[in-house]
Copies of this chain bind each other. A is one copy, B any other.
């Protein structure tokens, strides 16, 4: 389904992700992107169709990676707390492997063209529902306790949206272990030692 992406196009998309992360989609000009990749502004259009296309590539690629990660975790036969740990690792892995893209994915998706935005939001909704389902499973399995599943989901999701600047400041392994500890402290029923 996906068109193959040339090396040059990949390079342009990555440069765009860096700029979008730094200044936002709207404040980034195609001229600035051209300078960054060493081309004249018009030459970029030999590789992509529009500025929006760049955003679409960045956001949908992240969307797909998160969706694939979720599918893998859902398919594994482990208890809910281990699934949550895997989800934390997925988010931290994404944040550290694609720091610029993930930030754009989180902060700039509102600028997606309408048709893509509908797909994007539908994928996100699906992801959220799967996440919440795991939280509820953890309750059923007598591992977790919480009152409002939507609220506890929002709190955890907020913790997992690890900002670009923080990926530069802290080592991945440290962030991962601290977030696993913190989130499980929030979720676990009994006073720890698991």
Contact = CB atoms under 8 A, between A and B. Distances in A.
Given A27-B111, A110-B23, A192-B191, A178 B158 contact: no
A152 interface: yes
Copy number in this complex? 2
B174 A155 contact: no
Interface residues of A, number: 32
Contacts of A162: 158
Sorted nearest first, the 4 A-B pairs with minimum C-beta distance are A191-B191, A26-B27, A26-B26, A185-B185
Interface of A: 23-27, 107, 110-111, 147-148, 150-152, 154-155, 158-159, 161-163, 166, 169-170, 174-175, 178-179, 182, 185-186, 191-192
12 contacts: A23-B110, A147-B178, A148-B170, A150-B170, A151-B178, A154-B170, A155-B178, A158-B158, A158-B159, A158-B161, A158-B163, A185-B186
